[in-house]
Amino acid sequence: MVFKYSDSNKRYYTLDYFYKHKFNSKVFKVSLNAGFSCPNKDGTKGYGGCIYCSKLGSGDYAGEVTKSLVEQFNDVKNVMLNKWPNSKYIAYFQANTNTYASVDVLKEKYESVLGLDNVIGLSIATRPDCISDECLEYLKELNKRTYLTVELGLQTIHEETSKLINRGHDLQIFNEMVQKLRDNNINVVVHIINGLPYETKEMMIETAKYLSKLDIQGIKIHMLHILKDTPLANMYLKEKFHVLTREEYVNIVCSQLEVLREDIVIHRITGDPDPLQLIEPSWLIKKFGVLNEIDKEMARRNSYQGIRYNEKCPI
């Protein structure tokens, strides 16, 4: 079986395949740290952030914040040039909440890298409650002159879990922002996390099924990282909630892929934690092993992304 959007053994719509066919080139996302904060840390929405969030605000592999954005970008580009001299780049504003500033500040940050050679687009990671109307107008203008993607953190559709992890917004706010972005033809990628405390397999699949019915263009599937010096680490040490095994995670991801629309691009399908900060799960460090197991399980099922998208029966 060959999946519609694949030229390899992958049975799901990979980001590499999408970029290659859209831009006819190797494309890299260059992770940047623009020094933004987060309203869930500074007291605007809450303190301490989401309970799993590291001190770097999901920017563990972003650039060094003490360097300028151009320096951060060139550090990565110079390495990539040796192997892929004709590649193109998307500047990825990754760490913390990357629309959490005035539009003047956002313009200064975004435009500084947008004009660099072979930069074909921007990917902006943010929260659904942190895009003002003025910011949305600027994003609308940006979208007309570059390939723009806005990445929204959701993590789960289940409100009890959302409160437990201290997200600081509800599902309605997320839905409204997806609609606003799509009304302006802006591409939307959604982040979800598998293995959140006390969620069942059925709950995680429900999150994927829900998102599949929305007008989104991509999804990032993460496995929960329990990192040192986080509220989640304290909760785990106290409550010892269940952490998914590799086999459980692979099974859940494959079931999520089956219910996702075939045209939703899978931007990420596993986690990539800092081994020095990781408490659990230790199996997550072997990223390529997880990817291989997902491929093998999809083949074992003789399955592919979207095969159960229109299924009416309960999971």
pLDDT in tens, 148-169: 999 999 999 999 999 999 887 8
What is the average pLDDT across 98-124? 95
Task: Name the pairing type of β-strands 119-126 and 278-280.
Answer: unpaired
Domain 15-301, CATH? 3.20.20.70
pLDDT in tens, 163-200: 999 887 889 999 999 999 999 999 999 999 999 999 99
Task: Name the pairing type of β-strands 265-268 and 226-227.
Answer: unpaired
Residue 52 has a pLDDT of: 86
Q: How far apart are CA 1 and CA 88, in angstroms?
A: 31
| Structure token pair of residue 179 | 């609609």
pLDDT in tens, 286-301: 999 999 999 999 999 9
pLDDT at 118 over 90: yes
pLDDT in tens, 15-53: 999 999 999 999 999 999 999 988 777 767 766 778 887
pLDDT in tens, 222-244: 999 999 999 999 999 999 999 99
pLDDT at 314 over 50: no
Q: How far apart are CA 310 and CA 237, in angstroms?
A: 41
Question: In the β-sheet with 119-126, what is the strand arrangement from edge to edge?
Answer: 27-32, 88-93, 119-126, 147-155, 187-194, 218-223, 265-268
Model-level pTM? Answer: 0.93
pLDDT in tens, 229-286: 999 999 999 999 999 999 999 999 999 999 999 999 999 999 888 899 999 999 999 9
**Band of residue 58 on the pLDDT scale cut at 50, 70, 90:** low
Q: Where are the domains of the chain?
A: 15-301
